[in-house]
Structure 1
Amino acid sequence: MSLSTEQIGSIPRPAELIAGVQAHAAGTLSSEDLTVLSDNALRDTIERLEATGSPVVTDGEQTKPSFATYPVGPQFDGEGIVLPFADGHTRQLPRLVTGPFRYQVYADEYLVAAQRFATVPVKQAVIAPSALSLFYPADGVAGYPREEFLADLIDGAEADVRRSLDAGAHVVQLDFTEGRLAVKLDPSKELLRSLIDLNNRLLERFSDAERARIGLHTCPGGDQDSTHSADVDYAELLPDLFRIEVGNVYVALAGESDPERALSVIAQHARSDQKVFVGVTDPIDPRVETAEEVRDRVLTAARHIPADRLGTCDDCGFSPFADDVSTSREIAFAKIAARVEGTRLAAEQLGV
């Protein structure tokens, strides 16, 4: 298959792993026993991803607390920004309370663990510095100015990306779910553009060859079968999004009410050196797409994006927060299998 296809990152965790993490936090499960549960979940995830025919896999974020908070340590508390979702539930971000900021965990730990079990290339998702910048409180941190924090943040983010590249990641993907939300919070788009500039401040530290192996993912959020910014017109985000200096851009589309309109905006603004991965399965929709539906979505995208710059993905990760049990593992793997097969059918029809 000559059309690339990749998952975004997370896969729903097995119930026994979720229970094990809770038991470990309560002091009733040893670290050794939790490691066994984690390894079992990781091995099963990768084996099942490879069984779908996926040419590239991830670790499924089986042991991340969430896609966004893995670098966070005791310098933070739980009193940060509250994210409201369309169904009424909320998520609260951490808040930095003391400086200096240092990453507590780097994503290459997850990558190296996954590589032990994988027989195909492994992609590594990392949180974008733009998202972590939102953890700095509006009223500041005593003795730790925001500009000093941002300098430390970029240093940590560079190490996070570089360590995964050096460890052999197929691609390192920056998760930028806050992009569309930024437009909702600030329709003037000053916030959005400041977040994009911050990400480019990171990316300028990498060579052209390295940036070709770095991607960025955008979506309207996905948690407990709901979104936080799907009501924002994609046309208000995408022109600025393609200013980000990455080689791959992963765009949620399957859940859009008018994906063809979004594709026309992508066609207008995506740069010739960027590959665009379009979402062809919707992780928050419990219905499993057929391979033929996926094929047709790819063929629609191919009317706007040249086939040599086109790839497919899921709209976003499945259950990106560790406690989200709204989607089963079985549904996630079935959707991924449909994406892989539908992409193959589309490539066959396109003759690529």
Structure 2
Amino acid sequence: MSIPTEPIGSIPRPPELLAAMVAYEAGEIAIAELVAAQDRAVHDTIVRLEALGSPVVTDGEQSKPSFATYPIAGLSLAPEGVVIPFADGHQRQLPVLTGGPFRYQVSAEDYLRIAQGHASVPVKQAVIAPSALSLLYPPGGIDGYSREAFLDDLIDEADADIRRCLDAGAHVVQLDFTEGRLSLKLDPSGGVLDDFIALNNRVLERFTEAERARIGVHTCPGGDHDSTHSLDIDYTGLLPKLLQLKAGNFYIQLASEADPDKVLAVIAEHLPPDARVFVGVIDPIDPVIETPEQVRDRVLNATRHLPVERLGTCDDCGFSPFADDTSTSQETAFAKIAARIEGTALAAAELGA
């Protein structure tokens, strides 16, 4: 018996890459030098993941400015967007569009193909959910470019981004949907969440059942500078709606939940018949490195609620979703990933026995 295990996405950037990013922004090095540093970081990330025995790898998002903003670099933007408050008091702020039409400036396929050139195992590719990018449209509107026209363009662009990755051979395409839980903090009525689910499904419904088997959705309460934006929001308000998304895989943060059995019971009740759920068994923002035995026990506990043939494991979140987050070291991240891989194997062996 085996249980699939996958990373979520980002790995802390190495010091060499961080220095190159700073130097490039300061005009001290050319773009070619930055790209070379990014490529070395991608290669090192994949080599280290494969050395740990990871059956699926990512590029660690070494070349992305953040998990959310990769498609929009170069667009006409203003810095007056939605503010995302974190529990420790720091904030992130999204930009807003100043004109249309909306077009992706970078495709996730570009990251995927580079990673595949370094990998000898399947590569998964994270993309930003269209619901997150819908927040780019300003509340006051844009002259000559309605919100409806923007959403139509956004759906077409998100569709193309996912499809290009599938066509390029991605093991799975993962939609990052951290704004789902956050939406219930910003709008406790659930209206914004309903809009997000409907928008994402407008994209997902364009894919066949076979294609959706290779598409997943990741949810978490955010993870940035060792803090979260919505861990205080009860999962029971999110998961029944999240599991209505037309995806074949769900990656659900669980290790950092206070009551995992409560969450697992909700998942068991609402998980679609043909979907697999990857439960988080590693907390990326906890500096304590989990042991393989802790991971094993978390997996075994999950099987009390979910059939093992529909179960997988993952990290709760990426380790460094924003490039400037250096709160977790590479060494800690890879040690935690090693514990996930070994602990999942221990659980599989025990269940097989």
* Partner residue, 1:24: 24
| SS in structure 2 at match of 1:125 | strand
* Partner residue, 2:68: 68
* Partner residue, 1:6: 6
* Partner residue, 2:331: 330
Once the two structures are TM-superposed, the CA of residue 79 in structure 1 deviates from its matched residue by 2.0
Once the two structures are TM-superposed, the CA of residue 38 in structure 1 deviates from its matched residue by 0.9
1:186-201 paired onto structure 2 within 5 Å: 186-201=187-202
Deviations 1:252-287, CA, capped at 9 Å, x for gaps: 000001111100110011011110000000001011
TM-score with structure 1 length normalisation? 0.99
Once the two structures are TM-superposed, the CA of residue 18 in structure 1 deviates from its matched residue by 1.2
1:178-257 paired onto structure 2 within 5 Å: 178-257=179-258
| SS in structure 2 at match of 1:134 | helix
1:220-299 paired onto structure 2 within 5 Å: 220-299=221-300
Amino acid paired to 2:227: S
Any stretches of 5+ residues in structure 2 without a counterpart? none
Higher alpha-carbon deviation: 221-230 or 136-145: 136-145
1:142-161 paired onto structure 2 within 5 Å: 142-161=143-162
1:312-323 paired onto structure 2 within 5 Å: 312-323=313-324
Amino acid paired to 2:289: V
1:32-51 paired onto structure 2 within 5 Å: 32-51=32-51
Once the two structures are TM-superposed, the CA of residue 77 in structure 1 deviates from its matched residue by 2.4
* Partner residue, 1:83: 84
Number of equivalences: 352
Once the two structures are TM-superposed, the CA of residue 78 in structure 1 deviates from its matched residue by 2.2
Equivalent residues of 1:75, 1:101 under 8 A apart: no
Once the two structures are TM-superposed, the CA of residue 74 in structure 1 deviates from its matched residue by 2.5
Deviations 1:30-74, CA, capped at 9 Å, x for gaps: 112112211111110000111111000001000000000000132
TM-score with structure 2 length normalisation? 0.99
CA distance in 2, matches of 1:28, 1:173: 35
Amino acid paired to 1:233: D
Amino acid paired to 1:235: T
Deviations 1:293-318, CA, capped at 9 Å, x for gaps: 00000000011110000000000001
Once the two structures are TM-superposed, the CA of residue 143 in structure 1 deviates from its matched residue by 1.2
Equivalent residues of 1:318, 1:327 under 8 A apart: yes
CA distance in 2, matches of 1:163, 1:77: 29
After the TM superposition, list the runs of 4 or more consecutive aligned residues in structure 1 that deviate by more than 2 angstroms. Answer: none
Higher alpha-carbon deviation: 184-193 or 339-348: 184-193
Once the two structures are TM-superposed, the CA of residue 24 in structure 1 deviates from its matched residue by 1.0
CA distance in 1, matches of 2:229, 2:257: 13
* Partner residue, 2:352: 351
CA distance in 2, matches of 1:20, 1:12: 14
* Partner residue, 2:56: 56
Once the two structures are TM-superposed, the CA of residue 75 in structure 1 deviates from its matched residue by 1.8
Deviations 1:151-190, CA, capped at 9 Å, x for gaps: 0000100110000000000000000000001111111111
Amino acid paired to 1:63: S
Question: Percent identity between the aligned chains?
Answer: 67
Once the two structures are TM-superposed, the CA of residue 126 in structure 1 deviates from its matched residue by 0.1
* Partner residue, 1:311: 312
- Tell me how large the CA RMSD over aligned residues is: 0.9
